[in-house]
Structure 1
Amino acid sequence: MVSRLVLVLGDQLSLNLPSLRAADKARDVVVMAEVAQEAEYVRHHPKKIALVFAAMRKFARALEKDGWTLRYTPLDDPENAGSIVGELLRRAEETGAGEVIVTEPGEWRLINKLTHAPIPTRLLPDDRFIASRKRFEDWAEGRKALRMEYFYREMRRETGLLMEGDDPAGGKWNFDHDNRKPPKEGLDIPDPLTFAPDAEVEAVLELVAARYGDNFGDLHPFDFATTRAEALQVLGHFIAHALPRFGDYQDAMLEGQPYLFHALISPYLNLGLLDPMEVCRAAEEAWQAGDVPINAAEGFIRQILGWREYVRGIYFLEGPDYVARNVLRHDRDLPAFYWGAATQMNCLRQAVGQTQKHAYAHHIQRLMVTGNFALLAGVDPHQVHEWYLEVYADAYEWVEAPNTVGMSQFADGGVIASKPYVSSGAYINRMSDYCKGCSYSVSTKAGPKACPFNLLYWHFLDRHRERFQGNMRMKNIYATWDRMDADRREAVLRDADRWLQRLDAGETV
């Protein structure tokens, strides 16, 4: 008789999963299921759905090869119950199992469903991260401000990554001074490593096209890795060909170059196909071998050891209501151009178009283009949150929500960011070539041809002055605004209001 069911979720594709380690191959049965409830709780990009299902199917075969007994339910199985809990109940009735063990999901929504499932279900801590939830809670306890930089330094000390005894390698904790260069002509940008769909992936693509082909996003071409072996190839390709210049150009944006020197491994990390420590060690070893400069290795490791671990800690520390926060009381609907409608703003057109095609945009496109605009325009942060969750292949709520609600939209009131990440068009112009192909003029500060980022930047600061004028990091910004001629300030605010009225009226802006 079967002892227990071992539930493996679609973003838990690791043979070293805690629930698998706790299970008995001789008696327990692994359950995996492609269910509508998980594919449809938001309208995910078709590429993401296909990636998860294809990777799940290949991982299921790896489990069987490893000696596990498996019950796998494809999406189109006529017996499919349509939900994770429904599938567990169906498989329990089939096998006689009386208990479920599962590694804790990365989303409060699913934790709640499993905690209240009508079958005894034991959730095990997810130790595939470098810092446990308790480790983060211990770090956060008693702190007035939860700044990533200090958490990152503790993680460096604990792991020994890029450390020389008790000191950071190279004498500094970060090398941002050497990073974030604007793009220049003639950059030798490596092509990403791609994978042609095999028969198993093609079957998934047909299924997703039939069921979710109307969702926002292009399903084809599909060239993601779908196994751990392929994900390791992507990592190796990045380390060899892109990491050496990653630090220099990590914030750059160029038309027709969606990937530049970025790693493209976040979907595989978040699925469980790659381990965060092995990724960090690979970058460190490349630096130690002299193949990668320290500014690139450190900048990359900080994104994983620092930022990725930190936002997971914030998500669970802040609790289930985090995604609903809206301290700035923004309530504008997400503009139609986020779903591919026409816009005269070339930076938005480029970032959204790239997202639609690839289910990908790098962190500056997300933070300083799509996120910056939404914050400046006063868009409802929950709508922004759901958009990011829907459109990116690497988006899972534990990582997406803090990046959006906190870092991008300042809807959490400063839990993550010490000030809102807003900028005028000057930043985008400095870090990209987008402004050259825009209908608006980035150098124009007022009037109908003025870059909307220029107008909305001051509009945002003016309407939220009571909240932000006491922020020491924004003191000089408000001083600049106050030094402007009164007529000029009035013109900027008037033009911003007119522009927002056109946006609300559904005009192409």
Structure 2
Amino acid sequence: MRLVLVLGDQLSPDLTALQKTDKSQDVVVMAEVADEASYVPHHPKKIAFTFAAMRKFAARLEGDGWRVAYTRLDDPQNAGSITGELLRRAEECDATGVVYTEPGEWRLIKALGDMPLKTHCLPDRRFIASHEEFDTWAKDRKALRMEYFYRDMRRKTGLLMDGDQPEGGKWNYDHDNRKPAPDEVSYGGPMRFAPDDTVQEVLDLVRNRFGNNFGSLDDFWFATDAGQARRHLAHWIKGGLPHFGDFQDAMLDDNRFLYHAVIGLYINAGLLDPLEVCHEVAAAYRDGDAPLNAVEGFIRQIIGWREYVRGIYFHEGPDYVTRNALNAQRKLPPVYWGGPTKMRCMQQAVAQTQAEAYAHHIQRLMVTGNFALLAGINPAEVHEWYLAVYADAYEWVEAPNVIGMSQFADGGIIASKPYISSGNYIHKMSDHCGQCAYRVQDKTGKDACPFNLLYWHFLDRHRDRFDGNPRMGNMYRVWDRMDEERRKTVLKEAGIFLDALSAGAPV
């Protein structure tokens, strides 16, 4: 008899470990453990979502004939770690070994590999590209750009393909997906599910154990099983997908979701199959229910970006999360934990994160991420924050997005230039600036938008690195054409702001 480990982000009936073992004699091990719930201070909603979905998946496996050894967080016998629970269950069941599907985090891969038990690690077949396939694609390439990998995934899956050519004649419709915030949003947001008895029991447990973590447990509405997740997907395809492409980069004070799918947490936990989701989205285009720019933009995020960042994470190895190419050393300031700020865009993004354990990609990249990069915040601290506060965050997907895409800490493996902007981008894509204490139109002075000051300060202090970057030449030419006294004023005022930030003062 063997133990079959199922982790909290592996809640899929077609998980490799379940497919390669025998329900008539092997025992599934699932455990809510303190180590996994607290290695970073996870958002309470993320913990509650994971535990509730785990409990429901365990019940599903039992209904399918599996014997499941399930350990709840408050079980007095709980060993506190995945490896501890496996050792305890192995002794209890007299197991000959452990079969598991590869985790999405180097930390767990090492812990499981170091156990004094016979183990068999199987590849995670829920992804389109294997590690070997990605490594083959990456070999001898001067730059590992997602666009070319994405085209290979389109060819492999056949999604949005017309023979050997892309549907509509173009691979990428991103230029159609950058409209500013609309005056009205016709979609009511994600489907909400009232907590049932299982979910409520978990909420009470999490509130008792993790109630002091950053994040609110109020108004918990996530789907916690595959059936609910599929209902939400159908709801979004009908109401959100048609306008998703147009406004996927927009931000609004009074609407946290706009037309976004909000299914990353369901896919990453295993409640939805990513390829099945893409086929349903593609069907909406074929049936005339959604435009090509929306459908292509969504599918690119799944089979392109999601697969690509997983490939980068495993290709680059365990030290990837420690990289700091720009030597950013400032501590993460209190504003990220809900501290007071006069910056409306930061306040909105952090408050939404605190309430929902969710923010969409532009809020993460061009508000909280952009601010951290411009301010020179240590990428390791930024990485841990994103990993802690979002319900869809697991290290394989979060680390490349933060270390690579957002913070340029990998030195340009993912991004060909830093993703930075002044306040003008946020003003264009949102309605935040109209209610901000700072003035986005002011480039200097006491009311100047901090993004305006920090943008030029970043370019100036990193000139040796980026001056020769062909995508940044125009930025430096604008800086060089500025009056010398104005440049001095910008750098002085940016320095004052950064000193206040370092001192923990509200900004």
Scaled to the shorter chain, the TM-score interval is over 0.9
1: CA distance, partners of 2:184 / 2:257: 16
Structure 1 residue 186, shift from structure 2 partner:
2.6
Amino acid at match of 2:265: P
Which residue of 61, 65, 68 maps to 2:66?
Answer: 68
Give unmatched runs, 5+ long, in structure 1.
Answer: none
**Residue number in structure 2 paired with 1:139:** 137
3-state secondary structure, aligned to 1:102: strand
CA shift for structure 1 position 27 = 1.1
* 1:70-85 alignment, distance < 5 Å: 70-85=68-83
Q: In the alignment, what sits opposite 2:94?
A: 96
Residues 234 and 264, structure 1, Cα contact 8 Å, conserved in 2: no
Q: 1:339 aligns with which of 330, 337, 347?
A: 337
2:229 maps to a residue whose letter is: A
Question: Counterparts of 1:498 and 1:26 in 2: how far apart (Å)?
Answer: 68
Q: Could you tell me which of 213, 216, 221 is aligned with 1:215?
A: 213
Counterpart position of 1:464: 462
Q: What is the match of residue 204 of structure 2?
A: 206
- Give the counterpart of 2:186 among 185, 188, 208: 188
Q: 2:387 aligns to what SS in structure 1?
A: helix
Give the Cα–Cα distance (whole angstroms) in 2 for the partners of residues 286 and 205 of structure 1: 36
Q: CA deviation at 1:179?
A: 1.2
Matched, 1:267 2:265: yes
Counterpart contact for 2:33–2:82, Cα < 8 Å: yes
AA in 2 matched with 1:485: D
What CA deviation, in whole Å up to 9, does each residue of 1:387-413 have, x standing for no partner? Answer: 000000000000000000000000000
Paired with 2:218 and 2:293, the residues of 1 have a C-alpha distance of 36
- Equivalent residues in 2 for 1:476-495, closer than 5 Å: 476-495=474-493
Task: Give the corresponding residue for 2:20.
Answer: 22
CA distance in 2, matches of 1:116, 1:458: 48
Q: Distance in 1 between matches of 2:118 and 2:181?
A: 55
Question: After the TM superposition, which residues 91-490 of structure 1 pair with which residues of structure 2 at under 5 Å, given as runs?
Answer: 91-490=89-488
Q: List 4+ stretches of structure 1 deviating above 4 A.
A: none
Aligned-residue Cα RMSD (Å) equals 0.6
Cα distance per residue 1:218-257 (max 9 Å; x no partner):
0111110000000101111111100000000000000021
Q: Deviations over 1:441-461 (max 9, x none)?
A: 000001111000000000000
SS at 1:441 equivalent: coil
Distance 1:186 1:309 in 2: 33
**1:187 Cα deviation from its structure 2 partner:** 3.0
Question: How far, CA to CA, are the matches of 1:92 and 1:369 in structure 2?
Answer: 47
Say which SS state the counterpart of residue 31 (structure 1) adopts. strand
SS of the residue 1:472 aligns to = coil
| CA-CA distance at 1:191 after TM superposition | 3.0
For residue 185 of structure 1, report the CA deviation from its aligned partner: 1.2
CA deviation string 1:262-303 (max 9, x = no partner): 001000000001111001101100000000000000000000
Amino acid at match of 1:333: K
Corresponding residue number in structure 1 for 2:7: 9
CA distance in 2, matches of 1:451, 1:75: 46
Q: Is the 8 A contact 1:7 1:102 kept in 2?
A: yes
Rounded to whole Å, the distance in 2 between the matches of 1:209 and 1:59 is: 22
Shift in Å at residue 75 of structure 1?
A: 0.3
CA distance in structure 2 between the partners assigned to 1:178 and 1:470 by the alignment: 30
Contact 2:285 2:295 in 1 (8 A): yes
Distance 1:97 1:256 in 2: 55
Deviation by residue 1:116-138 (Cα, 9 ceiling, x = unmatched): 01111111000101111111111
- Whole-Å separation in 2 of the counterparts to 1:357 and 1:45: 9
Stretch deviating more after TM superposition (177-186 or 253-262): 177-186
Give the alignment's TM-score, normalised by structure 2. 0.99
177-186 or 201-210, which moves further after superposition? 177-186
Asked whether the equivalents of residues 182 and 247 of structure 2 are also in contact (C-alpha less than 8 Å), the reply is no
Aligned counterparts of 2:47 and 2:135: Cα–Cα separation in 1: 33
Q: CA deviation at 1:141?
A: 0.7
